[in-house]
Amino acid sequence: MATRPAIPNRSSASRPAGPPLQSTPTTLISASATLVGGYPITLGPKSIIQIRAHLSSAHGPLTIGEACIISERTSIGALSPPPQSPDASPAPPTGTTLGPCVLIESGAVVEASSVGAYTIVESGAKVGRDAKIGTGCKISSGVELGEGAVVEDGVVVWGSGWGKWRSEGKGKSLDPLAVRRAWVGEMLEVLRRGWTGK
């Protein structure tokens, strides 16, 4: 009787050497995701890092909160060193922190210093270095936010660049943040069941 070939382990424990990584057993990291850099990468519990996601701590630490979904072909973390003037000392490292339950969709690039809880960055959106994105925001597909952009809590950004902004849900009976929490929780469970079969 022929033996069945072993299924490759897709857990973070089997990853090749790279940046210092801190994660939990409930964090799922695709074997084809890349983690690069010299600063620590911290992944919160129940977070999912999908195929070909690129996590970079080359220019500062990277922290991804609890129950985040990092979709395929995304890039999280600073891609280039911080700018500095010729006569200045080297700039301090700038890290990236994603709050809990953040959804980064396919092909998005996030170099922001902070992204608040329950924020969605849609497919193909680009968030520049040192940007600060508040809680419960939505950065729509194809939007490019420049370096140092500040987006207040509950704001939807769509159109090109700094174009169109609107506050979400002020004075309405339906709480958009509660809806977003429920949706992210549901998506997390669907992805986890699909990936682990449980």
Give the domain extent around 24: 18-79+94-196
SS3 165: strand
Lowest-confidence range among 37-41, 101-105, 136-140, 185-189? Answer: 185-189
**What CATH number does residue 100 fall under?**
2.160.10.10
Q: Confirm whether 4 is domain-assigned.
A: no
The residue to which tokens 């990277």 are assigned: 62
Q: Confirm whether 123 is domain-assigned.
A: yes
Q: Confirm whether 10 is domain-assigned.
A: no
Mean pLDDT of 13-30: 79
Cα distances (angstroms) measured from residue 84 to each of 39, 91, 97, 108, 172: 20, 6, 22, 26, 45
Q: Confirm whether 9 is domain-assigned.
A: no
| pTM for the predicted model, two decimal places | 0.77
* pLDDT tens figures, 127-152: 999 999 999 888 999 899 989 999 99
The residue to which tokens 């998005």 are assigned: 108
Q: Confirm whether 140 is domain-assigned.
A: yes
Q: Confirm whether 3 is domain-assigned.
A: no
Number of domains in the chain: 1
69-79: b or e for each residue (b if 16 or more CB lie within 10 Å)?
bbbebbbbbbe
Lowest-confidence range among 14-18, 28-32, 41-45, 194-198? Answer: 14-18
Cα distances (angstroms) measured from residue 170 to each of 121, 132, 164: 21, 21, 17
Q: What is the DSSP letter of 31?
A: T
